[in-house]
Amino acid sequence: MVAIVGLGNPGRGYKATRHNVGFLIVDALADKLECSLRAGKGEFMVGSCSFRDEDILLVKPVTSMNESGVAVADIVQAYEIPFARLLIVLDDFQIPLGSLRMRPSGSDGGHNGMYSIIYHLQSDSFPRLRCGIGSAEMPRDKSLMADFVLSKFSKSEKPIVDEMVDRASEACLSFATDGIERTMSLFNRKGEEKSDG
């Protein structure tokens, strides 16, 4: 079994914001796999489905982004998910809009949701798919970055986001069926700025 966890903030006010890219990708996967998410026995929404004979759990934490680790720890324990079969899908303002980067492990890269997961799992040895939200609209003043990640995509950015969400959902399915090494070779784009170890 593979667990694919998309990070975001629950609530209508956060829908379609940059910080909720993980939710957008899990929703896209749910549509592709004809899977509905329901309240789980913990701080998360969960859906069970399969793809090419691989059992897949789709997960959206219902904590705030900064407490995502609570939900992820619950999922790992309840479903006995090995860390190598846990894929965290998240936004990253340090890589360009539309770019994808999958890694088998690494630091939190300055992402509060990832920080929470590493803290609650007491490990950073789990795969993650970082989805670029960086753009020319980012503020130079880092103290304003919270407002940027909670903003909505512009009309001109929307086609790039739609394409990224589609490619990211395909990358998640590739991870589930073909493993991380092949998925990284197919979906990672070269020349991206590093944001995690």
| Average pLDDT over the chain, rounded to an integer | 92
Q: What share of the chain is helix, strand, coil (3-state, %, to 5)?
A: 40, 25, 35
Residues 88-130: pLDDT tens digits?
A: 999 999 899 999 999 999 999 989 999 999 999 999 999 999 9
Residue 168: predicted pLDDT: 97
pLDDT above 80 (res 137): no
pLDDT in the model for residue 184 = 97
**Domain 2-187 - what CATH class?**
alpha beta
Question: What is d(CA 146, CA 73) in angstroms, rounded to the nearest whole number?
Answer: 25
State the DSSP H helix or E strand holding residue 104, giving kind and residue range, or none if neither: none
pLDDT score of 156: 92
Mean pLDDT value of segment 64-84: 96
Average pLDDT on 137-149 reads 78
H-run or E-run covering 72:
helix 68-79
Domain ranges (residues) in the chain:
2-187
Q: 126 or 191: which carries more pLDDT confidence? A: 126
Q: What is the pLDDT of residue 141?
A: 76
Q: What is the pLDDT of residue 147?
A: 85
Is residue 192 over pLDDT 70? no
Pick the closest to residue 134 from 87, 97, 84 (CA basis).
97
19 catalytic residue (yes or no): yes
* pLDDT, position 23: 97
Tell whether the model's pLDDT for residue 196 goes beyond 90.
no
Q: Which residues pair with 38 in a beta bridge?
A: 46
Burial of 188 (0-12, 13-18, 19+ CB in 10 A): middle
How far is 94 from 101, CA to CA, in rounded Å?
11
- Regarding beta strands 100-103 and 38-39, do their DSSP bridges make them parallel or antiparallel, or are they unpaired? unpaired
Torsional sign, CA 77, 79, 80, 81 = negative
- The answer on pLDDT for 195 being more than 60 is no
pLDDT at 138: 75
102-123 burial, b if ≥16 CB within 10 A, otherwise e?
bbeebebbebbbbbbbbebbee
Confidence at 145, pLDDT banded by 50, 70, 90: confident
Residue 189: pLDDT above 70? no
> 151 is written with which tokens?
């903003």
Q: Residue 191 pLDDT > 60, yes or no?
A: no
CB neighbour list of residue 31: distance below 8 Å, 6 or more residues apart: none
Which entry of 7, 9, 19, 129 is annotated as an active-site residue? 19
